[in-house]
Structure 1
Amino acid sequence: MTVKANRYDVAIIGAGMGGSVLGAALSRNGVRVLLIDGGVHPRFAVGEATIPYTNVSQRIIAARYNLPELTTLCTLKDCAKNISPTFGTKTHFGFLRHEEGKPQNPRETNEFHTPGLLHEAHHLYRQDVDAWVFHLAVKTGCTPLQNYKVADVDFDDSGVTVHGEDGSEYRARYVVDASGHSSPLAEKFGLRDEIPRYKHQSRSMFTHVMGITHTDDLWDRKPEHTPPVPWYEGTVHHTFNRGWGWVIGFDNTPLSRNPLCSIGLTVDPRVYPKNPKLSVEEDFADITSRFPDIERQYAGVTPVREWVSTDRLQYSSKQTVGDRWCLLSHAAAFIDPLFSYGLANTGDAINRLAWRLIRACQDDDFSAERFDDFEQWQQARFHYNDEIVNAGFTAFDHFEFWKAVFRVWVWGNNYGTFRARAGLTQYQKDARDSHFQDLEKGQNLGFDWPDHEGFRHLFDTMVTQVDAFQAGKIAAHDASEALWAELEAADFFPKPFGFQDRSVHFMSPKPPVIAKSALWLSRHGDPQVRKMLMKSGRQAIRLRLSGSKIF
């Protein structure tokens, strides 16, 4: 084929989940898309734990870009039926704190049960879901180009030329790099910061295994120390000083026939430096052996694929958009996966980028200036994620401090989910895209909850206390008390949830708690929160009573 024949509106480098969903959204709306990948599907990928916001962002993409097929990813039942019975359930975020040489203290645990009445989350078996999304992109009209190694990308006033290592060339008006860390555009333009601009540091090691001991079987504990939802039915986080390990089960629901479990660690390399004499498995065993109950969780497992080890996970880019190009999500930067932000952020980025690209194609204007809002948001989003993850790593070794940080993250992210869902509900009534564009507004760019000054003040207090503790200016106890004082005084937490009660370790907003919250909100609290939660609750109940799929 000649260069002239290989002409497209948008070339996407990287056909993982982000690149494929973006390609499908563009193609379904009349954009000629070339979807390039250096490998083939199916293949292993990380980023397996979702959060409720992931679900909502996918539903918004489905509605906004006429991709109803994408809602398959939003329920475990549909994933098992239409993709494969390999997905795990995720009914909560669970955290258990550990100290070296000591058994896990049952009083030092947290669990937030994600309210299934309102949202759903699950564990994605990525090799299956990524292949499914790639095939969806092809079905919508994307031209696939797998096993294609990009040698260079050239730009001129009229477009972009993608050069393959095989000597072939493809022409497009715009290029999106969704390839991840090994970004051709980041390398070409020298975009990577030599020292990542982020505060936290972590390295990682991980694999898939069989034979994991279920977390609930590790102990026989008193009822007051047993969470309302079994540990193994959600994402289990084992936390310790400057690190954490994960247990992501794919075998924790009757809907799955997958016997595997994802396990891994991320640790601060300044505290746990790599030992070049150890294999990855030996490195993993060396760190987990310091914590008796973490070691018991992982004992006797059988890896079913090679172990993967990284150096520092974090990287950042000086710039993420330019004339006729963009770095999408993990091609631009990466943050530790502690709070499972990866796919949620990617969904948000696709929502913000796709409509801008569709209009750029219509106007034949691909200048960097018209994508500047996307650049500002994407950089701010990475910064927000870094601050909350750095706070978590800093507070891990001080349980009261960690409890407070945990609450800031949980409620900020949950309210952001309610806010996004409200925009979708309005769109479903009148099909006005302005509802989605309104979600991009807010004075606190990059925040889960971008339009509430009370939450901004609470978040800033957390960052200030974390920074002061890290600098050795205050003790952990004092930092914790300062943050708790702000938490307890805030009027934008629904009190029955237990966010402001230090004695509550397991937060489970099941229907009775939601009902109590509705009564409390009708009489107390922040007006913005009251209006949002009352509206969301009524909508969820109507859908449930009508037999519709919840959100």
Structure 2
Amino acid sequence: MRTDPDHIGDDRRDPDVTVLGTGITATSLAVILARHGLRVLLLGEHDTSGSEPGEMTLPCTSFLYEVIAERFRVPEIALLADAGRVGRELSYNCGVQRTLGFVHHHEGAGHRRADSLQFNIPSEHGESRFYRPDLDAWMLAAAVGYGARVRQRVGVDKAVAEDDRVRLTLTSGEEIRTRFVVDTGGPDSAVARALGAERVSGGTGTRVIGAHAVGVRPYERVAPVLKGSHPWSQGTLHHVFDGGWIQVGHFRNGSGTPAGSALATVTLSLDAARFPRQGTDGWEEILARAARHPAVAAQLADAQPMFCWTADSGQWHASRTVGDRMLLLDGSALGGDPVLGRDLYTSAQLVYSAASDILAAARDDDWSAGRFRYLERLQHGMADRQDRLVDAALTASSHPALWSATARVWLLGTMFDALSLKRSAKTMASGAAEAALTSLRADPATGVCHETLPEYRELLDFTLAACRDTAEGRATARQSADRIFVRLRNEPMVPPIYGFGDPTDREYVLTTPQRVRTLLWARKEAPPGVLRLVRPYGARGGGKDLGHDD
């Protein structure tokens, strides 16, 4: 294998599939396609892995990685679902994701336990915080190992679909011909222009400023950890304030509270309408916002940035994402705030769906736009779902009770998503592939590729509508929060594993007795759809809970 950084791989024939971009979506897709015998070319314009959104996994993300690995026989992607193996085999720089913390702040006031919420993540293998430069490089190497070619520092000026090929003209003037092109590199690309795709703005949206920094103080040194919970630094902490939030996550945190020299990620999201860009340095704006809240300021008091990145485009999606022999995917098709772990989960869904459709198209030698309409509708559904979630989050940020209620509904959804995908993984592993594949081709309008509970979709719609009522002045934040909590208390599908409807229950730690109680509830009281998801999971969920089983 040649090691020329601009031209790796020996096959000089026209590629079957050319993938623009070298982030996790592009490289994972390349691994699968090359593994199944397609000639794949990856074109990377510039190194963006340090500023790529998407660092944390959730159980639903990891179960989907397991599904992808089983379906396409790619063990490299299965490794992403196991935090222990990630730290040992992928990169020591990666971290663990054991908790999701939320602390609401009022300007000038210190930390208040009553305004905090900590959700300890039940996980079979543990969840990860990926250090993206290492993750993307590792997956790129796996793609090359399966035979993909890679060219770095290559830009595409023009894309033209011809009868049997797509002709790509590079910035150097060189031309490449390929049977199909997948663009993951970003918005407003040559492929987007060829499709006539325009950016469509979503809801209110946020301005996002991200940074990797050293010297970020673990928050447990600022404020006490909730009883029975992991340290705040063992996961992602959301500092919420009226009009936005700051997310903090630590790398190299697997063995306990990380050292001050360990790298951390800090991401500020601000309501774009209320807080337009002032032209200040990104890190300065993060510190200025933190200074309004003493506990946040204390956490960042000694922090020094390594680099910053900004995203002012808010919520958006491409008006068109497919054409004959062309596909816009992930970062070229939709974008927005990375709140609530959307990015890697979205990426995994799109990799699964795109790999399925591309392999089928290659088998039939049919690369027409119609083969990829599902992906277009799915990405539009994802964009709509994220628009509504971000708008609701911005409204909920105005009041601690409304934020707590809205966050609980979202957390409940991630649990049902994980159960649904776990069921699909078990079904696929048992040999019932057809049933598993059907469950992973769900209504794209829902914004997810897998089956979801109708009852949960109704609860989510109710919650988003309650937030909208507050935003439009039909209800106060307290009134909307009370309505959501009442619905959570009375909703038959909500399991008794945590006080979702009790605003005073601020920490969730899953134990074996809670599992047993939930299984008994599922058999006697749960709606049929919930029973179908919970029953196969078992009293111990098929794995360990990072030390939280009794």
Q: TM-score, normalised by structure 1?
A: 0.91
- Cα RMSD (Å): 2.4
Matched, 1:229 2:230: yes
Q: Which residue of 2 aligns with 1:262?
A: 265
Kept in 1, the 8 Å contact 2:83–2:128? The answer is yes
1:288 maps to which residue?
Answer: 290
Name the structure 1 match of 2:321.
320
The one-character-per-residue Cα deviations of 1:170-213 (angstroms, maximum 9, x if unpaired) are: 111111001123533224444233x50x2231112221111111
Once residues 241 and 190 of structure 1 are traced to their aligned partners in structure 2, the CA distance between those partners, rounded to angstroms, is 38
Indicate if the aligned counterparts of 2:314 and 2:336 stay in contact, CA closer than 8 A: yes
List alignment gaps of at least 5 residues for structure 1.
Answer: 546-551
Distance (Å, rounded) in 2 between the aligned partners of 1:119 and 1:504: 26
Q: Does 1:81 pair with 2:88?
A: yes
1:150 partnered with 2:162: no
**Among 211, 222, 226, the residue aligned to 1:207:** 211
In the TM superposition, 1:231-250 aligns within 5 A as: 231-250=232-251
User: In the alignment, what sits opposite 1:439?
Assistant: 440
Within 1, Cα distance between the matches of 2:207 and 2:419?
Answer: 33
2:64 alignment partner AA:
S
In structure 2, relative to structure 1, the CA distance for the partners of 1:434 and 1:159 (3 Å cut) is farther
- The offset of 1:319, in angstroms, is 1.3
Q: Is 1:168–2:164 an aligned residue pair?
A: no
Q: Is the 8 A contact 1:320 1:327 kept in 2?
A: yes
Output the amino acid matched with 2:158: D
Aligned partner letter, 1:292: P
Unaligned runs of 5+ in 2: 1-6, 546-550
Show the counterpart of 1:400: 401
Amino acid at match of 2:269: T
> For each residue in 1:454-509, what CA deviation from the matched residue of structure 2 results, as whole angstroms up to 9, or x when unmatched?
21221221122222221112222222222223222211111132212222111122
Counterpart residue number, 1:473: 474
Please identify, of 247-256 and 347-356, the stretch whose mean Cα deviation from structure 2 is larger.
Answer: 247-256
Q: Tell me the amino acid that sits aligned with residue 500 of structure 1.
A: G
Which of 174, 182, 185 matches 1:179? Answer: 185
Cα deviation for residue 12 of structure 1 reads 0.7
1:134 aligns with 2:140: yes
Looking at structure 1, the residues matched to 448 and 365 of structure 2 have their Cα atoms a distance apart, in angstroms, of 32
- Who is 1:549 aligned against? none
- 1:548 aligns with none
* Alpha-carbon separation, structure 1, partners of 2:352 and 2:477: 39
1-structure distance, mates of 2:255, 2:413 = 32
Q: CA–CA distance in 2 between the matches of 1:311 and 1:461?
A: 29
Preserved CA contact (<8 Å) 1:182 1:331: yes
Q: Equivalent residue of 1:340, what SS?
A: helix
- Give 1:333's aligned amino acid: L
Percent of aligned pairs sharing the same letter: 26
CA distance in 2, matches of 1:512, 1:340: 28
Quick one: structure 1 residues 449 and 516, their matched pair in 2 at CA, closer, same or farther if it must change by over 3 Å? farther
1:339 aligns with 2:354: no
Q: Report the Cα distance in structure 2 between the residues aligned to 1:293 and 1:207, rounded to whole angstroms.
A: 19
Whole-angstrom CA distance in 2 between matches of 1:422 and 1:36: 36
Q: Does the 8 Å contact 2:381/2:444 carry over to 1?
A: no
- AA in 2 matched with 1:352: S
**1:263-292 alpha-carbon deviations (Å, 9 max, x no partner):** 12111122222222x322222222111111
Does the 8 A contact of 1:111 with 1:505 survive in 2? yes
Q: Report how far residue 104 of structure 1 moved.
A: 2.1
Within the candidate set 97, 100, 105, 1:90 is matched to 97
- Name 1:159's counterpart in structure 2: 165
Alpha-carbon distance in structure 2 between the residues aligned to 1:152 and 1:285:
41
Q: Which amino acid counterpart does residue 152 of structure 2 have in structure 1?
A: Q
| CA displacement 1:340-363 (0-9 Å, x = unmatched) | 110111100111111111111111
Structure 2: distance between partners of 1:52 and 1:29: 27
In structure 2, the partner of 1:271 is: 274
Query: 2:193 & 2:278 partners in 1: Cα distance?
Result: 29
Residues 41-73 of structure 1, C-alpha deviations (whole Å, 9 max, x = no match): 975533212222221121111111110122222
Aligned length in residues: 534
Is 1:385 the equivalent of 2:386? yes
